């Protein structure tokens, strides 16, 4: 599967209202020697808006330059992220996507910007969640373990590399191979905040070496530590099932992710 196919892929589930979400583009969240970094926010349609609404932050684990060289545009402009953000917004939550130069520090900067500017952005700082998939997951885990982790209300981690524990180096090796950041290296599930619920989606037919073994170890250790983890195994699905597996099993998994986020951020 080439990069252009990935760039054009959209989520295999649609919901009413996706075409009516409200988009605010290119809000500057960081200025540095590397230039300006910006974020986009997609809000629910007008009829669904509240004064301050919960939001989901899509965490990036790859520097934009790496992916832009492969696909020809910034990741936040690609069909996968745009369609997911529209789906989230049509479901009653705000969706935040962003550009980045340094994935680890810029993700923290986005979160801090949202927390500081909540009245301007129309986002409730006390109802924030994370979404990450594949090689983006280690950066999301690092954010959960970071200084603002306790403020987050939930996270969805989809078919991703997780944590190296007990001497394993699967995630570290994958990070070197694929070019994603691994800022949670050296940590264990004990570093995760005790009260933040996680939804972990596993693709039963994932062909990327090491991912499912990483998920399986993480789930076992998280459950042993009594962390609030929901694990869903989509048995017939490949890696990227939300984009490339147009079957009811994948659509049901996406519905479950949306339900999870709505429950923990909207209370319904």
| Residue range 81-136, pLDDT digits in tens | 999 999 999 999 999 999 999 999 999 999 999 999 988 999 999 999 999 999 99
Q: What does the angle CA 188 – CA 157 – CA 91 come to, to the nearest 5 degrees?
A: 145
pLDDT tens-digit series, residues 154-200: 999 999 999 998 889 999 999 999 999 999 999 999 999 999 999 99
Query: Could you tell me the pTM of the whole model?
Result: 0.95
Residues 21 and 88: beta-carbon distance below 8 Å? no
Domain boundaries along the sequence of the chain = 3-266
Q: What does the angle CA 208 – CA 73 – CA 65 come to, to the nearest 5 degrees?
A: 70
**What radius of gyration, in Å, describes the C-alpha atoms of the chain?**
17
The DSSP bridge pattern shows strands 22-32 and 53-58 to be unpaired
pLDDT tens-digit series, residues 131-165: 999 999 999 999 999 999 999 999 999 999 999 98
Q: What is the DSSP letter of 210?
A: T
Which residue is listed with tokens 């069909």? 79
Q: What does the angle CA 127 – CA 251 – CA 10 come to, to the nearest 5 degrees?
A: 80
Asked if pLDDT for residue 2 goes beyond 80, the answer is no
Residues 227 and 200: beta-carbon distance below 8 Å? no
| Rounded Cα gap, residues 237 and 255, in angstroms | 15
| Rounded Cα gap, residues 54 and 196, in angstroms | 15
Confidence of residue 72 (pLDDT cuts 50, 70, 90): confident
Alpha-carbon separation of residue 188 from 12, 116, 167, 168, 225 (angstroms): 34, 29, 11, 12, 11
Asked if pLDDT for residue 1 goes beyond 50, the answer is no
Q: Which CATH superfamily is domain 3-266 in?
A: Alpha/Beta hydrolase fold, catalytic domain (3.40.50.1820)
Query: For position 214, what pLDDT does the model report?
Result: 97
Nearest to residue 131, comparing CAs of 39, 4, 48, 254?
Answer: 254
Q: How many CA atoms lie within 13 A of 219 on its CB side?
A: 18
Residues 124 and 55: beta-carbon distance below 8 Å? yes
The pair phi, psi for residue 250, each rounded to 5°, is -70, -40
| Rounded Cα gap, residues 74 and 101, in angstroms | 11
Nearest to residue 32, comparing CAs of 109, 118, 96?
Answer: 109
112 burial level (CB within 10 Å; 0-12, 13-18, 19+): middle
């Amino acid at each position: 599967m080439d990069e252009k196919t990935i760039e054009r892929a959209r989520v295999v589930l649609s919901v009413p209202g996706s075409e009516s979400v409200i988009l605010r583009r290119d809000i500057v969240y960081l200025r540095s020697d590397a230039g300006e970094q910006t974020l986009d926010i997609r809000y629910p349609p007008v009829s669904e808006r509240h004064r301050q609404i919960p939001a989901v932050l899509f965490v990036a684990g790859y520097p934009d330059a790496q992916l832009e060289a492969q696909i020809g545009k910034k990741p936040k402009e690609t069909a996968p992220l745009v369609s997911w953000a529209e789906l989230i917004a049509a479901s009653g939550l705000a969706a935040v996507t962003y550009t980045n130069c340094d994935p680890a520090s810029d993700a923290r900067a986005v979160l801090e910007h949202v927390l500081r500017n909540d009245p301007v952005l129309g986002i409730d700082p006390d109802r924030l969640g994370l979404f990450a998939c594949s090689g983006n997951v280690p950066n999301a885990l690092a954010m959960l373990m970071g200084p603002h982790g306790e403020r987050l209300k939930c996270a969805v981690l989809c078919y991703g590399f997780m944590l190296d524990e007990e001497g394993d180096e699967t995630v570290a090796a994958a990070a070197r191979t694929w070019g994603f950041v691994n800022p949670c290296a050296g940590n264990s599930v004990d570093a995760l905040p005790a009260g933040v619920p996680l939804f972990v989606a596993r693709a039963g037919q994932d062909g990327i070496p090491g991912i499912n073994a990483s998920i399986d170890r993480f789930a076992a250790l998280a459950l042993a530590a009594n962390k609030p983890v929901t694990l869903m195994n989509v048995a017939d699905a490949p890696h990227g099932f939300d984009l490339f597996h147009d079957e009811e099993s994948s659509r049901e998994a996406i519905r479950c992710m949306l339900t999870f986020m709505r429950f923990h951020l909207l209370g319904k």
